[in-house]
Amino acid sequence: MSKSEIGENTSEIMAAGAVLYRVNQDEFEIALIHRPRHDDWSFPKGKIEFGESFLATARREVLEETGYSAKFGPLIAEIQYLAEGVPKRVKYWAAHAISEPKSIADIEEVDLLEWHSLKSAKAKLTHEEDRKVLKLFKDMSPGIDKNSTLILLRHAKALKRVEWIGDDGDRPLDNRGQIQSEKFKPIYEAYGIDEIFSSDAYRCLETVKPLGRDLGITVGIASDISEYQYSRDKEKPLKFAKKFLKASKDSETPKTVLLCSHNPVLPKILKELAGSMAFDEIDRGLEPGDGWILFHRDGKVRAINFISAP
């Protein structure tokens, strides 16, 4: 990940957290924590540790400060403010509580947790910045608990074509790519992955096999999303991806699926699935190990997030 996305020595404090929610009789309830050291009520959040991504930090802080495991949804906000005169940048995600609570690991930081309605949470929060985040969550919350997730991951850094004398489908990851492939779990486990599919190119399989191993998921090989198949029929990878949007439309149970493929293939899929929402993302480009996160329900993409390579 770029230095702006991981904990590095910098004059700016970087932190991450989440609006942890549950649904009770069709009403959203928000988890708020009390920090005795500050005597305030806020969302679970904390500073990024060295080499840690924003998303991994948010997931860790939620677990440590609330005791709940959570399935993460869209990024809600990135806010900046001064904390005791020092610039601070915090990213917040929506996170659906999916477990029974365990004991709070960080009892020195958090002594109380309360669940509140959206209205009472607004009144309980101490800081104006948090109330702004709550408002953004409220604006995107209708149906958010029904979202399924489709992750479009470009394979990690591979040997250059000119450095490989064999078939291109057998071209492996280089040293950097092998290191990247071992770093995906702390990032992508936040989304609660159910299935992983890979292009049949060896560099794609190498990219997601460690993730599948760490999550206990067997990686499915999908030649339909290979670069070779795309060169023969540009609609084939799209049809493969579309079936997951259709499945979410026909099912009441949200699911997270990860597809590992190639640079020319994934922008095509994104553009066709997300339409005008995808323009800025496609302009951004997709480097080896980068990923797009598509949140969808009722067969339509509702939000897109970007995850940079580790």
What one-character-per-residue DSSP string does 224-258 give? GGSHHHHHH-TTHHHHHHHHHHHHHHH-SS--EEE
- Where are the chain's structural domains? 3-142, 147-307
8 A C-beta contact, residue 143 and residue 297: yes
pLDDT over 80 (residue 3): no
How many other C-beta atoms can be found within 10 angstroms of the C-beta atom of residue 106? 16
Q: Given 3-state DSSP classes, what are the helix, strand and coil percentages for the chain, each rounded to the nearest 5? A: 40, 30, 30
**Percent of the chain at pLDDT above 90?**
79
Closest CA to 304 of 199, 284, 230, 287: 284
Confidence grade of residue 10 (pLDDT, cut at 50, 70, 90) = low
pLDDT > 90? residue 283: no
Q: What are phi and psi of 155, to 5 degrees?
A: -55, 155
Q: Please give the mean pLDDT across all residues of the chain.
A: 92
Give pLDDT, residue 258: 98
Which two structure tokens, joined as six digits, stand for 246?
A: 């259709």
Torsion of CA 154, 155, 161, 164, to 10 degrees: -170
**pTM beyond 0.85, yes or no:** yes
For 273-282, the pLDDT digits (tens) are 999 888 888 8
- Specify the pLDDT at position 106: 65
pLDDT band of 7, cuts 50, 70, 90: very low
Q: Which of 157, 150, 127 is nearest to 263 (CA)?
A: 157
How far is residue 174's CA from residue 160's CA, in Å, rounded to a whole number? Answer: 8
Q: Alpha carbon 257 to chain centroid distance? A: 12
- Cβ pair 272, 152 in contact under 8 A: no
pLDDT higher than threshold 60 for residue 8? no
Superfamily (CATH H level) for 3-142: Nucleoside Triphosphate Pyrophosphohydrolase (3.90.79.10)
User: In this predicted model, what pLDDT tens digit does every residue of 228-257 receive, in sequence order?
Assistant: 999 999 999 999 999 999 988 878 889 999
Is it the case that residue 76 has pLDDT exceeding 60?
A: yes
Assess whether pLDDT exceeds 90 at residue 300.
Answer: yes
Q: Which residues contact 57 (CB under 8 A, 6 or more apart)?
A: 7, 15, 16, 46, 47, 48, 49
Residue 9 has pLDDT above 50, yes or no: no
Q: Is 89 exposed, middle or buried (0-12, 13-18, 19+ CB in 10 A)?
A: middle
- Residue 270 burial class via C-beta count within 10 angstroms: exposed 0-12, middle 13-18, buried 19 and up: buried
Q: Could you report the per-residue pLDDT of 215-231, keeping only the tens digit for each? A: 999 999 999 999 999 99
Whether 123 has a pLDDT exceeding 90, the answer reads yes
Q: Which fold has domain 147-307?
A: Rossmann fold (3.40.50)
Q: How far apart are CA 108 and CA 257, in angstroms?
A: 37
Phi and psi torsions of 97, nearest 5°: -65, 125
Q: Does 30 score more than 80 pLDDT?
A: yes
pLDDT in the model for residue 4: 43
- Tracing tokens 């709940």 back to the chain, one arrives at 68
List the helix and strand counts (H, then E) for the chain: 10, 13
Confidence of residue 2 (pLDDT cuts 50, 70, 90): very low
Q: What single letter denotes the amino acid at residue 228?
A: Y
CA 134 to chain CA mean position, Å: 19
Q: How confident is the model at residue 102 (pLDDT cuts 50, 70, 90)?
A: confident
